[in-house]
Amino acid sequence: MSNKLTILGSGSAIPTVRNNPSAQILEMCDKQFLIDCGEGTQITMRQMMLRSARLYTIFISHLHGDHCFGLIGLISTWSMMNRTQDLHIYAHKDLETLMRPLLDYHCSSIPFQIIFHHIDPKKKAVIFEDRTLTVTTIPLRHSVPTCGFLFEEKPHRTPRKLFRFAYCSDTGYKPAIVPQIKGVDVLYHEATYLEELKDAAQRYQHSTAKQAAKIALKAEVGKLIIGHFSARVIDQELFLQEAKEVFPNVELAQDKTVYDFDK
């Protein structure tokens, strides 16, 4: 069973020629999970020739457009491709309210079921569980109800370390999440701003690269991946340099990058 993360979008609210808005696919325990679905997600998937035969589950962290505007297009395409597998979407209840009119208008003859699972982003709760893994919400600090997701492999008979992955975007600096993500193998944490704009980060409830690194250090994670970069910063290496001053094992999330955590 491989553990992989494919970055489909690592930018923030404004798409650039370099970065699409947030979206990534986590492969874990022989399953695929789409985490957030910003504009352009399906285009990047097709450019990377990614197969979605095992993609039954989508997790949406919050309802800002750069995290969910790609959903209706993706679903419409799957409908035209005669997909038959049911699709499960875990998100704040308002997503279903927003999506139903679009689905009724654009996808009235869709050949598969879409099941919305309403979650409360303000509460820590197990929202998905099967025989191999669990997914738990991580309440975050943002301008709308927002949560991250903690993916944890369940104990099994083979004598190897269980894989744990945490996704934390969008959020202001919130050390209160540290106990929940303590010791995860990989942490994806937003880093919208550089430290010189930490006042803006606080105002808009985002994090700086240095703050993301502080969370990784406090949580003693194995690897930190930062993303959700502000379009105003041209040289993204500045994010990396700032984070590395606090936490050395950090990488920049870049569109179309695949991280294989078993290598």
Catalytic annotation, residues: 66
Q: Are 29 and 132 in contact (CB under 8 A)?
A: yes
Strands 23-28 and 31-37: antiparallel
Cα–Cα distance, 66 to 169 (Å, whole number): 11
Indicate the SS3 state at residue 237.
helix
Alpha carbon 64 to chain centroid, angstroms = 13
Q: Which tokens is 120 given?
A: 């409360």
Please report, for residues 29, 134, 145, 181, 263, the alpha-carbon distance to residue 130 in angstroms, rounded to integers and kept in the order given. Answer: 10, 7, 26, 20, 26
Residue type, 179: P
